[in-house]
Amino acid sequence: MSKRALITGITGQDGSYLTELLLSKGYEVFGVVRRSSTESYERIEHLRDRIQLIQADLLDQYSLIKALETAQPDEVYNLAAQSFVPTSWSQAVLTGEFTALGVTKVLEAVRAVDPKIRFYQASSSEMYGKVLEVPQREETPFYPRSPYGVAKVYGHFITVNYRESYNLFAVSGILFNHESPRRGLEFVTRKVTDGVAKIKLGLANELRMGNLDAKRDWGFAGDYVEAMWLMLQQDAPDDYVVATGETHTVQELVEVAFERAGLDWQKYVVIDPRFIRPAEVDLLIGDPAKAKAKLGWTPKTSFKELVHMMVDSDLARLEARK
C-alpha cells in the first residue's frame, strides 16, 4: 500500500519540490492550503490533478485536526511559515503565531489524530544568527537575530520537547538557505536573478540592494527536500543540519548572476538603505557531516550552477512574456 503524506506550506517553494519527490516515490500527497480570495497555486499547478488539497490554517487548531483526520497521513511535513525575515520585524506578532505557535498546533493535531505519524519541522539556520561557532553544527548554540529566528528556535525546541515528552517520531531539519527558480521574488537570490533578467531585456535599468557583505551557505531546494524525506525514513528521530558547507557573499552572488547575462554589475547595482536590516546575520556556513554520515545525503548542485539555473530561468520566463 502506498504511503500517505500531508504537507503544510505545499504552495511554497519547498512544498512544490517535496510534492514532486514524494509523488515520484509513489506517495499519496495531501496539501494544506489556506483560504484566500485569489488562489496562489502557481508552483503546484502542474501537480494539481495528482494531489489532494485541504483547506486549513496554522492559526486554527480545529482545521488542522480535521486536515489530519481527512488525510490519515503516515508523515506530516510542516513547511508552512511566515518565512521572509524583514516581514518578521513589521509583523512580529503574526510571525510568532504562524512560525512558532503554529508548530505546536500541528504537533497537537498529530497527538490527537495518531501519535504514530512521523513529523518533520522546517527549522532554519537563521536560528544561529550571531553565530557562536563556525561552521554551524547540530550542537552549535542558537543566537537568533530576528523575530523570525526567535520563532524558529521555539519551533525547533517544541519539536524536540514533544519527541522527548510524548515519544513522537518528530524531527527538526536545520536547513541553510536554499533557492531555486521557484524562490519568492523578495528573497535575495531571486531578486538578483529576476533583476538581472529585467536589465538584460531592457525592462529595468538598476537593481536596488541592501548589505552586499552578508555571507550565506546557499544550496538548491530540489536537493534539500530529499534530506527532509530521508530524515523521516530513519529508525529513530533526530535533528540534522542540511547545508553545502560553502559560504559566499551577497556580492559574489551579484557578480555571478550579472556575469551570466554578460553584464557588469557595478553599472546597475545601487545600495538602498531601505534594504538594510535592524539586525543582520553576517555569516552562515553549515557543517552537513551528520547528514552525510547518517542519511547518506550530499548536495548535488554547486553555487554557480544554482545561480546560472536561476538567471536562465528568469530570462526565459520574461522573454516568453515579452
Active site residues: 124, 126, 148
Question: By CB under 6 A, what part of segment 258-317 binds ligand G4F?
Answer: 275, 277, 280-281, 284
Q: What residues make contact with ligand NAP under the rule CB under 6 A? A: 8-9, 11-15, 32, 34, 40, 57-59, 79-83, 98, 122, 124, 175, 177-178, 184
Rule CB under 6 A: say whether 67 interacts with ligand G4F. Answer: no
Closer of 63 and 146 to ligand G4F (Cβ): 146
Contacting residue, 7, 117, 131, 214, with ligand G4F by CB under 6 A: 214
Query: Please, is 219 exposed, middle or buried when counting C-beta atoms within 10 Å of its C-beta (0-12, 13-18, 19+)?
Result: buried
Closer of 199 and 309 to ligand NAP (Cβ): 309
Locate all alpha helices (DSSP H) within the chain, ordered by sequence.
13-24, 61-71, 87-90, 92-95, 102-113, 147-166, 188-200, 221-231, 250-260, 289-290, 303-321
For residue 254, give Cα distances in angstroms to 144, 213, 217.
Answer: 26, 11, 15
Closer of 122 and 197 to ligand NAP (Cβ): 122
With contact defined as beta carbons under 8 Å apart, do 80 and 12 qualify?
Answer: yes
For residue 44, give Cα distances in angstroms to 8, 36, 181, 314, 316.
Answer: 13, 16, 13, 18, 19
Unique residue bearing C-alpha cell 500500500: 1
Packing angle of the helix pair 102-113, 61-71 (nearest 10 deg)? 40
3-class DSSP state of 291 = helix
Tell the smallest beta-carbon distance from residue 193 to ligand NAP (Å): 15
Rule CB under 6 A: say whether 58 interacts with ligand G4F. Answer: no
Tell the smallest beta-carbon distance from residue 175 to ligand NAP (Å): 4
Count of other CB atoms within 10 angstroms of residue 31: 28
Tell the smallest beta-carbon distance from residue 268 to ligand NAP (Å): 25
Print the binding letters for residues 87-126 with ligand G4F: x by CB under 6 A, - otherwise: -------------------------------------xxx
State the cell numbers at 305. 550552477
Please choose which of ligand NAP, ligand G4F, none residue 98 contacts, taking the beta carbon within 5 to 8 angstroms, the exact cut-off set by kind: ligand NAP
User: What's at 299, amino acid-wise?
Assistant: P
Tell the smallest beta-carbon distance from residue 23 to ligand G4F (Å): 24
Closer of 11 and 140 to ligand NAP (Cβ): 11
Tell the smallest beta-carbon distance from residue 190 to ligand G4F (Å): 8
Tell the smallest beta-carbon distance from residue 63 to ligand NAP (Å): 9
Closer of 10 and 209 to ligand NAP (Cβ): 10
36-68 burial: b if 16+ Cβ within 10 Å, else e: eeeeebebbeebeeebebbebbbeebebbbbbb
The CB-nearest residue to ligand NAP is 12
Please choose which of ligand NAP, ligand G4F, none residue 136 contacts, taking the beta carbon within 5 to 8 angstroms, the exact cut-off set by kind: none
Count of other CB atoms within 10 angstroms of residue 221: 22
For residue 274, give Cα distances in angstroms to 127, 135, 206.
Answer: 24, 30, 15
3-class DSSP state of 88 = helix
Rule CB under 6 A: say whether 211 interacts with ligand G4F. Answer: yes
Please choose which of ligand NAP, ligand G4F, none residue 19 contacts, taking the beta carbon within 5 to 8 angstroms, the exact cut-off set by kind: none
Q: What residues have CB less than 8 Å from 158, skipping those under 6 apart?
A: 100, 103, 104, 107
* Number of amino acids touching ligand G4F (CB under 6 A): 22
The binding site for ligand G4F (CB under 6 A) comprises 83, 85, 124-126, 176-177, 186-188, 191, 209-211, 214, 216, 250, 275, 277, 280-281, 284
